[in-house]
Structure 1
Amino acid sequence: MSALGDGRFGAVLDAEWSVGTRLHGGYLLAVLARAAGESAAGAGHPHVTAVSGTFVEPPEPGEAVASVRVLRVGRSVAQVRAVLAQEGRTRVEAHVTLGLLDDAGPWWSAHEPVRLPPEQECFLAPTDPPGAGMRVPLMAVVEERIDPEHLAFAFGAPSGHGVIASWQRLADGSDWDPLSLLVALDPVPPVSFDLGLAGWVPTIQLSAYIRRLPAPGPVRVRLAATDVGGDRMDEVAHVWDDKGRLVAQATQLAAVRVPADPNPWGRV
């Protein structure tokens, strides 16, 4: 990322961080959060702590410009508005809150880490998923191992529970940090697969919180849906680090094609 002056930063969007032909939503938010951190607001507030992004148009791999406008700089937080543009068109817009994170555990937490089999007993997601009809280049940079109990959809028998859990590591061996956790919070496959809803699930809006600095090692991710209808679906993600502490959480609204059957699972 290069500074262009006047709160503008040049970026090159990497096609490797894609699902099919679309750049990954968490990656795009990380690009904007990085620009926010490199702006004047990031001087005393080096970490992204919250981001709310709206995906206006899908950007293409290649050159883009991230523009940052500082809204407020306080003692503990700084708030900025960031826009990712290509060819003069807004592609993604976000409000980013910056602060200073540490690795202290929570004072109180209602969420225990999701239970998963050992990493090596979980299914390593490939870049060319069988039957998907598209490549997932993202799986070359993020090593994701999915709980075998949540893979019934791959055999034509989705559970209908609306939950997918996995281990995740960065494939190059890097440790997770506040920026890369934004990628972990938008995992693939979408939880709609566990509901028997195939096809593209584009993110419309995503809000994420980064709670603390993660410990070195893999993270555990649980993705779940709460309600599906009107061709819309929510996805709620929680991420725990290798010490079992909640380090990030997110909620997103996504578009999904809902079949005509109003009650496919025989439940009210």
Structure 2
Amino acid sequence: MAPLNQAIRVERRVDSDCVYTGTVDEEWSVGVVPNGGYILALIIQACITHQSTTTLPSPLHVSAHYLQPTQPAPFEVHIRIIKPGRNFINIHAELMQAGRTCVLTHLIFGNVPPRVGLGPLVPVNSGFARPYPLSAFHPSSVNLPGGLTALPPGYQFEDQMHWAEDPAIRVLNHTPHANGGFARWGAWIELTDKDTVITTASLALIADTTLSMGFLYPTHVTGAVEGDTWLPTLTLSIEYKAPIPASGRYSKRTVGVYVRSGYLSEPQGRHNTIVEIWTAPADIGDGGEVRKGWADEQVCLAVATQMG
């Protein structure tokens, strides 16, 4: 069991330039199955390592299809360049265990300078920009531990991560017509190990560690059995919108997430979930000063979509 930065570590296999190895950490599981976002983080980390010495080191888009459950055991990521280019490169990567292909991914890499994206192309004060989606509760003002929300049952990494939910968003899920047919959820999500920082690869775990409509809507609406609302991830896509800022005005281990989840359908109550991942101005409950206009300073780091 290891903090996230250590748990997604990979190494290049000595006899191949395109195969990376590691071990799936059992702690980053839901029940006995490793979290799908954690598994995708392993693949992304392998591809980032592979591209780190090239002119196109930055992941722009990732699309994953989960074919078989993974196990807490050694793995290999096999990388193949599909289409190289001057501005973009398309990569195919497979995570394999014991000779089985468990996850297929297609990734697009480019070159995003570190300071690009620290402000939206559409100015915040224009009235046309995407506003910061959480309500006005600041992470530093959360009371600890009372302001934290327990992770759902079965999350084995509850000691490595905690949440502070946005109550103004969740309460709307029990009011008919309030959300236009979407369940909504917002929270500050924080890695508890103070030496661990959120990275480009680990955003994949964040994207798959949220609540969706199966948890959020009343059971008489979804038809679900209480406590039996988790579904395995079938597909997960991430579009990276901005690099993680290095500025001290942002937390290194906390992000804000905003979730919309809907389109409940057969078979097996499948639904689509959209997750926006934003910077956070401070750690949860740090008691620091709340700057005026802090919400307008936040940056959308990634937008993820999945079918679960």
Band of TM-score, shorter chain: 0.7 to 0.9
The equivalent of 2:66 in structure 1 is 55
Matching of residue 139 in structure 1 with residue 155 in structure 2: no
Q: Would the aligned equivalents of 1:20 and 1:137 in 2 still touch at CA under 8 Å?
A: yes
Q: 2:138 aligns with which of 95, 104, 118?
A: 118
RMSD between aligned residues = 2.4
Larger deviation: 236-245 or 117-126? 117-126
Question: Offset at 1:158?
Answer: 4.9
Decide whether aligned partners of structure 1 residues 90 and 144 sit closer, same or farther in structure 2, where only a CA change above 3 A counts.
Answer: same
Q: Which runs of 5+ in 1 are unaligned?
A: 255-268
Matching of residue 250 in structure 1 with residue 304 in structure 2: yes
User: Where does 1:71-150 land on structure 2 (aligned, <5 Å)?
Assistant: 71-101=82-112, 102-103=114-115, 104=117, 105-108=119-122, 110-116=129-135, 117-119=137-139, 120=142, 123-126=147-150, 129=152, 132=153, 134=154, 136-149=155-168
Q: Secondary structure at 2:158's aligned position in 1?
A: helix
The equivalent of 2:188 in structure 1 is 167
Decide whether aligned partners of structure 1 residues 175 and 118 sit closer, same or farther in structure 2, where only a CA change above 3 A counts.
Answer: same
Looking at structure 2, the residues matched to 42 and 236 of structure 1 have their Cα atoms a distance apart, in angstroms, of 32
Q: Would the aligned equivalents of 2:76 and 2:96 in 1 still touch at CA under 8 Å?
A: yes
Q: 1:234 aligns with which of 272, 291, 300?
A: 272
Aligned length: 246
Q: Would the aligned equivalents of 1:3 and 1:10 in 2 still touch at CA under 8 Å?
A: yes
Matching of residue 203 in structure 1 with residue 233 in structure 2: yes
Amino acid in the other structure paired with 1:224: R
The equivalent of 2:201 in structure 1 is 179
Matching of residue 222 in structure 1 with residue 258 in structure 2: yes
Larger deviation: 161-170 or 57-66? 161-170
Amino acid in the other structure paired with 1:107: L
Q: TM-score scaled to structure 2, two decimals?
A: 0.72
Q: Would the aligned equivalents of 1:150 and 1:194 in 2 still touch at CA under 8 Å?
A: no
Deviations 1:145-164 (A, max 9, x none): 212345669xxx95565111
Looking at structure 1, the residues matched to 56 and 231 of structure 2 have their Cα atoms a distance apart, in angstroms, of 34
User: Where does 1:58-69 land on structure 2 (aligned, <5 Å)?
Assistant: 58-69=69-80
Looking at structure 2, the residues matched to 209 and 43 of structure 1 have their Cα atoms a distance apart, in angstroms, of 21
Question: Offset at 1:123?
Answer: 4.2
Looking at structure 2, the residues matched to 33 and 221 of structure 1 have their Cα atoms a distance apart, in angstroms, of 20
Q: Which runs of 5+ in 2 are unaligned?
A: 1-9, 123-127, 219-223, 281-296
Question: Offset at 1:38?
Answer: 2.1
Q: TM-score scaled to structure 1, two decimals?
A: 0.82
Percent of paired sites with the same residue:
23
**Higher strand proportion, which one?**
1
The equivalent of 2:211 in structure 1 is 189
Question: Offset at 1:99?
Answer: 2.1
Decide whether aligned partners of structure 1 residues 220 and 137 sit closer, same or farther in structure 2, where only a CA change above 3 A counts.
Answer: same
Question: Offset at 1:245?
Answer: 1.4
Decide whether aligned partners of structure 1 residues 8 and 240 sit closer, same or farther in structure 2, where only a CA change above 3 A counts.
Answer: same
